[in-house]
Structure 1
């Protein structure tokens, strides 16, 4: 006889009631008989909101993305909207990406909101996530939803929630909404749509968003420079194909080659192992096309078009992939340069990044006399800064995970406008006889050479979750005293909100929300951060090393060896 944990069986039995359709019940009965391990993983917990919303494997159960879990989310949010905005007409915008079931699940979500007498603006086809963020404000909605699992594998889908400022949920709204959802039973969800409240939107918003992207991402680049830049772009089977080529054309970039084999949206992502522009293999076809066509720059975006990977030619003319920190450094410095040229820096601006990103951005920002603000991982915290400091203008914001936002017209990472910005930098630098790579080397000379690397360890399912928690617990109970021969001088624990000075034992409070992150700083300037991913079954280790030399000679291999030693030391 197959054993099933009684607590899990109790949750399972709720799904075998008439509240759930016959197909769902049949699937569960099959799992009880033949797949108890899969049953346990599908029901052992409720799927939770993380750094970038809710993501999970599609299927039946409380720990899966399906009609019922998303319906319950939507019902909880509807209830919360009525409490937060009494006597106001309520409006919600909904978009979705290329993934399997995204269109159908988006309609389910729209049905639930409309059943609660809330007006819904639903995109009739897939669109980039940043366009949804823009649309929430443009349409005067109190809330926005996008169905996406970003760059996760094909079996995943997800649910991101945006508030009326166009940013993702942050405290206290996130906890309050989660409490509202947890107070519901599945039988409370209203699935019967009021179709007259569902309005399909497309072209008008596309045009408005494209114009705003061009306005924010263009910086007086001569047309001759644009014509002289050859661009290879790939959407990696995702949503960016609906907007990036259009924005580049509107901005005057006509020399754009698309990777046609990857241009059709496809939730199976058939030409890549992972549709993640952080991974070099994802841009393989684009790099091959660029070599054949002698292109200057390669750009690829993830499925929901909020991250981008960039490759540029180095001093030997070879295509070289920039990591997320390098792209952020170049974009941030360029924006600061442009704002200074235009006389727009008056002490009322700021530039933002996150605690796991390169310290180089802080050095650059402060060298311009501009405020630098740092938040927890995730662009929702940068969006919150915009809301918290209305007297300040956001110049730009980025983090190491290949995301950037230009200004604040979109309140999330935005690969549409960031793609245009990357092309502006490439066109201007080529026109000046330099390149993006040459520009980066100049910045290293001015600010010191920084090298970063991310190591992600995949730990799937319930067992994996327990292993990740055990690893973080071990790092807290047995903290690193030395890294690559250099003493640890400070430990920041964002879960306790305390910073420990290892030299004198003093403890100071940190003014950031609680989060399961540990950061170790060493005497030689190295920085090692550890955190469980908020969107994937992974624990992530972020390493940053740097050096300054008198003769402007930087040995990248030397710093890479240092990172390799640290990885070995930490068993990564």
Structure 2
């Protein structure tokens, strides 16, 4: 006889009531009989909101993405919106990506909103996530939804929620909405759509977004420089194919080669192991095409077009991939130079990044005499900064995970405008007989040689979640005294919003919301962060090292990274 935990079985039995469709009930009974392990993983908890909303494997159960879990979240959000905006026309925009079921899920979500008397603007076809953020403000909506799992594997999907400013949910809205959702039973979901309240959108919003992208992402680059830049672009089977070629053309970039084998949207992502531009293998086909055509720059975006990977030619004319920190440094420095040339910097501007990104960005802000703000991982915190400091102008901001935002017309990472900005840098530097690679080295020479490295460990399922919790518990209870031979002088425990000064044996409060993150700072200037992912079954370790040496610094920095990585061996 197969044993099923009674607590899990109680959750399962809810899904065997008449409210759930017959196929769902049949498939769950099959799982009970033949797949108790899968049953446990599907039902042992409710799928939770993380840094990017709700994301998970598609399938049956409370811990899966399906019409019922999405419907329950949407019903809770509908109830919240109706309470927050009484006696007003409430409007919501919805977009979706290339993943399996995304279009169907978008229709389910639209149906639930409309059944609750809420006007829905639904994109007629797949669109980039940043365009949804733009559409929320452009159409004066109170909220927005994107059905996407970003760069996760094909079996995933997800649900990102945006508030009326175009940014993702932050406190207090996130907690209040979660309370609304948790108070519901599945039977409370209103699935019967009111088609009169659902309006399809496409060309008008497309053109407005493309125009805004060109306005924010171009900086007096000459026509000749644009024409002379050879670009290779890949959408990695995702949504960016609907917008990036259009925006590049509108901006005057004609010499663009598209990786045709990856141009068609496809939720199986057949040409890559992972559709993640953070992974070098994802850009393999683009790099090969770049070598065939002697291109200057390669751009690749993730499926929902909020992250981008960039490759440029080094001093030996070989294509090299930039990591997210390097791309952020280049874009931020270039933006501030352009603002400075235009006489627009007066100290009332700010740039932003995250606690796990390179410390170099803070130095750049100091050099240009503007403010620098640092938040938790996730662009929702950068969007919150824009909202919290209305008297300051937001120039740009990024994070190490290959996301960047130019200006505030979008309130999430935006690979469309960031692609255009990268091409502007490349075109201008090539016209000056320089390159992006040389420009990056000039920035390093000015501010110090920083290098970053990410270790990402995958721990799947319930046992993986427990293992990740055990690692974090061990690090808290037995913190490092030294890392790679350098004394740990400070530890920040963001879950307690406190920092411990080991040199003076003092504890201070941090002005950051609580989050499951630990940061260690060493005597030699290294920084190491440990953080369970909010959207994937992973624990991540972010390493930042630096050196003031002018010679052999590459070798010195690599040795530091390798020594730290060896100490973080939790595999």
Give TM-score, length-normalised by structure 2.
0.99
Q: Corresponding residue for 2:417?
A: 417
How do residues 171-190 of structure 1 correspond to structure 2 at under 5 angstroms? Answer: 171-190=171-190
RMSD: 0.6
Aligned to 1:358, the other structure's residue is in SS state coil
Deviations 1:398-456 (A, max 9, x none): 00000000011000000000000000000000000100000000011000000100000
Q: Corresponding residue for 2:435?
A: 435
Give the distance between the partners of 2:140 and 2:23, measured in 1 at CA: 39
Aligned to 2:74, the other structure's residue is in SS state helix
Is 1:555 matched with 2:548? no
Aligned to 1:191, the other structure's residue is in SS state coil
* Alignment gaps of 5+ in structure 1: none
Deviation at 1:346, TM superposition (A): 1.2
Q: Corresponding residue for 1:571?
A: 569
Is 1:372 matched with 2:372? yes
Q: Corresponding residue for 1:154?
A: 154
Deviation at 1:558, TM superposition (A): 2.2
How do residues 66-77 of structure 1 correspond to structure 2 at under 5 angstroms? Answer: 66-77=66-77
* Alignment gaps of 5+ in structure 2: none
Q: Corresponding residue for 2:10?
A: 10
Give the distance between the partners of 1:539 and 1:43, measured in 2 at CA: 22
CA contact (8 A) 2:233 2:257 kept: yes
Give the distance between the partners of 1:133 and 1:41, measured in 2 at CA: 33
Q: Corresponding residue for 1:302?
A: 302
CA contact (8 A) 1:405 1:411 kept: yes
Deviation at 1:553, TM superposition (A): 3.3
CA contact (8 A) 1:111 1:194 kept: yes
CA contact (8 A) 1:272 1:282 kept: yes
Q: Corresponding residue for 2:45?
A: 45
Q: Corresponding residue for 2:250?
A: 250
Q: Corresponding residue for 2:483?
A: 483
Aligned to 1:539, the other structure's residue is in SS state strand
Deviations 1:271-306 (A, max 9, x none): 000000000000000000000000000000000000
Deviations 1:209-257 (A, max 9, x none): 0000000000000010000000000000000000000000000000000
Q: Corresponding residue for 2:538?
A: 538
CA contact (8 A) 1:386 1:394 kept: yes
CA contact (8 A) 1:226 1:253 kept: yes
How many equivalent pairs are there? Answer: 570
Give the distance between the partners of 1:488 and 1:555, measured in 2 at CA: 22
Is 1:279 matched with 2:276? no
Give the distance between the partners of 1:155 and 1:203, measured in 2 at CA: 30
Deviation at 1:554, TM superposition (A): 5.2
CA contact (8 A) 2:148 2:157 kept: yes
Give the distance between the partners of 2:60 and 2:567, measured in 1 at CA: 41
Give the distance between the partners of 1:358 and 1:518, measured in 2 at CA: 16
Give the distance between the partners of 1:380 and 1:44, measured in 2 at CA: 28
Give the distance between the partners of 2:99 and 2:502, measured in 1 at CA: 48
Q: Corresponding residue for 2:312?
A: 312
Consecutive aligned runs of 4 or more in structure 1 exceeding 4 Å deviation: none
Give the distance between the partners of 2:260 and 2:127, measured in 1 at CA: 19
Q: Corresponding residue for 1:192?
A: 192
Aligned to 1:373, the other structure's residue is in SS state strand
CA contact (8 A) 1:449 1:554 kept: no
How do residues 139-538 of structure 1 correspond to structure 2 at under 5 angstroms? Answer: 139-538=139-538
Aligned to 1:309, the other structure's residue is in SS state strand
Give the distance between the partners of 1:487 and 1:84, measured in 2 at CA: 51
How do residues 115-134 of structure 1 correspond to structure 2 at under 5 angstroms? Answer: 115-134=115-134
Give the distance between the partners of 1:277 and 1:474, measured in 2 at CA: 32
Aligned to 2:50, the other structure's residue is in SS state coil
Q: Corresponding residue for 2:59?
A: 59
Give the distance between the partners of 1:459 and 1:557, measured in 2 at CA: 32
Deviations 1:524-569 (A, max 9, x none): 00000000000000000000000113xx435213211210111112
Give the distance between the partners of 2:69 and 2:562, measured in 1 at CA: 42
CA contact (8 A) 2:547 2:553 kept: no
Deviations 1:452-490 (A, max 9, x none): 000000000111000001100000000000011110000
